[in-house]
Amino acid sequence: MTIIKRLRKTITTTFTAILVFALLTGASPAQSVFLGLISPSRRTAVKIPSEVIFRNSADAVFMLETFSISGETIRTGSGFFISETGLAVTNLHVFDYAASATITLYNGDVYAVRGVNATSEKHNLVMFSIDSDDGGWDYLPIADSDLIETGNSVYVIGSPLELINTMTAGIIGNVSREVNGESLIQITAPISFGSGGSALLNTRGEVIGVASQSYSYGQNLNLAVPINRINSMDPGEPVSLAEFIEIRESGE
């Protein structure tokens, strides 16, 4: 094979690889070339454009609405899928006193919550499933929240004030803010009422936390539960929300 033929083959192979990478990540061909020049050990630190992160995440997050036993709305919150089977995560307080609940996806589809699969009172987290036997749900990839650093850029996607799929941006203000004996992630990304249970994402679109609370008397002093807290939760068969109320009241 002549040198010219080798060069042509190399150029063709490289260009094909760039296009494939661009299609898989949403990056432009120019960004893909840049990524290709970076050594594998540094590639994980490259940021994905925020608009790409939103597009990749939009169908995996949703608004939650909970109802009393009489059918009256109690509150709204946010949540996201962590498995293609439809297993989802939100803050436990979102389900307080709820006899039933629904989720509303970005496309407007509404599903009932089937039940609670696992809870952590200590970390204010709940895993739950929806009333659908469909598979192949879009879900968010999970990162190792032990690896985050103060100053990292972050995004929150949730449904504050029922504004479905609202994305905000900020940084990590402190990786380990002690609040009532719990180590939480302090962030500057804005959250509001209804943001509880929102996905906190890094610049690769991976979940690093679950938005949970704010300092109401501060400016962008918001908190999230590190996503590694779900590692201690063991999801089982779903328990209906009506039964879950009784279980919590009985202290079992």
Residue 98 lies in a domain: yes
Mean pLDDT of the chain, nearest integer: 86
Q: Are residues 113 and 238 in the same domain?
A: yes
Q: What percent of the chain is predicted at pLDDT more than 90? A: 73
- Does residue 19 surpass a pLDDT of 90? no
Q: Are residues 105 and 206 in the same domain?
A: no
Mean pLDDT over residues 77-87, rounded? 96
The residue ranking higher by pLDDT, 131 or 1, is 131
Residue 52 lies in a domain: no
Residue 240 lies in a domain: yes
pLDDT digits (tens, 9 = 90+) for 34-73: 344 333 434 446 789 999 999 999 999 999 999 999 999 9
Q: Are residues 134 and 150 in the same domain?
A: no
Q: Are residues 134 and 237 in the same domain?
A: yes
Q: Are residues 22 and 66 in the same domain?
A: no
Q: Are residues 64 and 100 in the same domain?
A: yes
Q: Are residues 134 and 191 in the same domain?
A: no
Q: Are residues 161 and 204 in the same domain?
A: yes
- Does residue 28 surpass a pLDDT of 60? no
pLDDT number for residue 23: 47
- Does residue 16 surpass a pLDDT of 90? no
pLDDT number for residue 47: 85
Q: How many structural domains is the chain composed of?
A: 3
pLDDT number for residue 40: 40
Structural domain range at position 72: 58-139+232-250
Residue 4 lies in a domain: yes
Q: Are residues 130 and 236 in the same domain?
A: yes
- What predicted TM-score, i.e. pTM, was given to this entire model? 0.81
The residue ranking higher by pLDDT, 8 or 102, is 102
Residue 50 lies in a domain: no
pLDDT number for residue 252: 61
Residue 46 lies in a domain: no
State the DSSP string of the chain. Answer: --HHHHHHHHHHHHHHHHHHHHHHH---HHHHHHHHTS-HHHHTTPPPPHHHHHHHHGGGEEEEEEE-TTS-EEEEEEEEE-STT--EEEEGGGGTT-SEEEEEETTS-EEEEEEEEEEETTTTEEEEEES----------B--GGG--TT-EEEEEE-GGG-TTEEEEEEEEEEEEEETTEEEEEE-S---TT-TTPEEE-TTS-EEEEEEEE-TTSSS-EEEEEGGGGGG----S-B-HHHHHHHHHHT-
Mean pLDDT over residues 102-119, rounded? 97
Q: Are residues 14 and 24 in the same domain?
A: yes
Q: Are residues 152 and 224 in the same domain?
A: yes
Residue 195 lies in a domain: yes
Mean pLDDT over residues 129-142, rounded? 92
pLDDT digits (tens, 9 = 90+) for 170-227: 999 999 999 988 999 999 999 999 999 999 999 999 999 999 999 878 788 999 999 9
Residue 49 lies in a domain: no
The CATH number of residue 128's host domain is 2.40.10.10
Q: Are residues 115 and 222 in the same domain?
A: no
pLDDT number for residue 45: 60
- Does residue 229 surpass a pLDDT of 50? yes
